[in-house]
Amino acid sequence: MITINENYLKLQDSYLFSTIAKKVEEFTKNNPDKKVIKLGIGDVTMPIAPAVIEAIHKAADEMMKKETFRGYGPEQGYDFLREKIVEHDYKKRGIQIEKDEIFVSDGAKCDTGNIGEIFGKDNKVAITDPVYPVYLDTNVMAGRTGEYDEKTDTYDGVIYMPATAQNNFVPELPNTKVDMIYLCLPNNPTGTVLTKQELTKWVKYAKENKAIILFDSAYEAFIQEDNVPHSIYEIEGAKEVAIEFRSFSKTAGFTGVRCAYTVVPKELRGYTKNGEEVSLNKLWNRRQCTKFNGVPYITQRAAEAVYSEEGQKQIKENINYYMENARIILEGLKEAGYEVFGGKNAPYIWLKVPNGYTSWGFFDYLLEKANVVGTPGVGFGPSGEGYFRLTAFGSRENTKEAIKRIKEI
Ligand code: PLP
């Protein structure tokens, strides 16, 4: 008899985006004359930069000739891309990362989800709340949590670190000993960032507790302020306690192309039950070589082109475009009397729903009255209740129109 991984049965169905889609479909059916503006899902809308497209064409042509055709590539990624990453994303910021500490992949979603495989089942997990749901669900699947409690919307055994207006969305360090700490900065959904001083506390905690920080900086390219670290390795000693995840998805419009990378420094150590030290870089390398056959050559050439002079210029134009949308949303909502957060170093605006509304109640209200779609905050964790996320990834025209409508209701 084939048995199943019963941890999957603990998972709550992810109703968030499917429920949103159903509600929008129903509304559109009943109101065919209304133009609905979607600022809900965190997907980009600007096309890929011309420098990147040129690289894709060139790489595709190489595949046509016997001399330049490529089959399987290195599981960890081609040197030409890893070298660019080292040089541009780290060396330029004064950070020493070596090529063999970079693992190119097809997405930060897979990497943040899969990384748990190299860690023991008994590790205590801490997540900020609200946050990108992949961290929690993959730990449920791995059996690192207890059962789900409907009353509190939490899983037993997980340490939730609330980030709300009360603490200015800066979560406090866990007051118990934890082993795996997920940090998403700039944060999805709140748009929060931490200063160097604030992040230093987390590195210190991880060192003192022999814990690991899983640092997801998928939105690093959106940081505008100077005192905000782009990489956790800007913090002294972080190479001993942190794995960093980066993605070309939002940085360069690769949500459909698929390319990302994970940094696993060679200093990083995990421990056996007997306390023997083991290199995490070696474990992750072993895992990737066994289960992953690398990112397509064409895609890696596309990612390489992101770092060219033209590529950088073009992707920055897109990022500026989105950040101007963020400013329009932030300012517009403030003028409309909303309490708003984020939007300064991230493409997400997090707003407090008016008194008397739940996250979902406000979703219905906004859809009905302004025909604007956002994401209910509670979908990102229990501390997201009472909040709502709008994204800056829409077109300028739609963004302006959405804000105009929200002001008018
Ligand atoms: N990490 C965070 C925080 C995200 O918000 C997202 C996507 O929305 C991802 C990772 C996924 O990135 P990728 O497209 O590289 O899988």
Dihedral angle sign, alpha carbons of residues 104, 107, 110, 112: positive
For residue 109 and ligand 1, the question of a CB distance below 6 A is answered with yes
For the record, the structure tokens of 44 come out as: 């980009």
Q: Give mean pLDDT, residues 290-307.
A: 98
Task: State residue 14's pLDDT score.
Answer: 76
Q: In degrees rounded to 5, what are phi and psi of residue 387?
A: -125, 170
Of all protein residues, the one whose alpha carbon is nearest to atom 12 of ligand 1 is 108
Measured distance between the N- and C-terminal CA atoms of the chain, rounded to whole angstroms: 59
For residue 132 and ligand 1, the question of a CB distance below 6 A is answered with yes
Give the up-direction half-sphere exposure of residue 390: CA atoms within 13 A in the CB hemisphere: 35
The alpha carbon of 109 and the centre of ligand 1 are apart by a number of angstroms equal to 5
Task: State residue 333's pLDDT score.
Answer: 98
Amino acid making up residue 118: I
Dihedral angle sign, alpha carbons of residues 68, 69, 72, 73: positive
Task: State residue 13's pLDDT score.
Answer: 81
Element (H, E) at 257: none
User: CA 139 → CA 145, 155, 308, distances in Å?
Assistant: 7, 10, 38
Q: What is the pLDDT of residues 203-237, one digit of tens each?
A: 999 999 999 999 999 999 999 999 999 999 999 99
Q: What is the pLDDT of residues 21-33, one digit of tens each?
A: 999 999 999 999 9
- Residues 254 and 190: their CA atoms lie apart, in Å, by 22
For residue 295 and ligand 1, the question of a CB distance below 6 A is answered with no
Phi-psi region of 253 (alpha: psi -120 to 50; beta: other; left: phi over 0): left
Closest atom of ligand 1 to CA, residue 260:
15
Task: State residue 30's pLDDT score.
Answer: 97
User: CA 241 → CA 200, 207, 247, distances in Å?
Assistant: 12, 6, 20
Preceding amide of 189 cis, omega within 30 = yes
Task: State residue 196's pLDDT score.
Answer: 96
Q: Give mean pLDDT, residues 137-158.
A: 97
Task: State residue 62's pLDDT score.
Answer: 98
Higher-pLDDT residue of 117 and 15 is 117
pLDDT category, 177, cuts 50, 70, 90? very high
The alpha carbon of 153 and the centre of ligand 1 are apart by a number of angstroms equal to 23
Of all protein residues, the one whose alpha carbon is nearest to atom 2 of ligand 1 is 218
Mean predicted lDDT score pLDDT of the chain: 97
Task: State residue 316's pLDDT score.
Answer: 98
Given a cut of 80, is residue 15 above it in pLDDT?
no
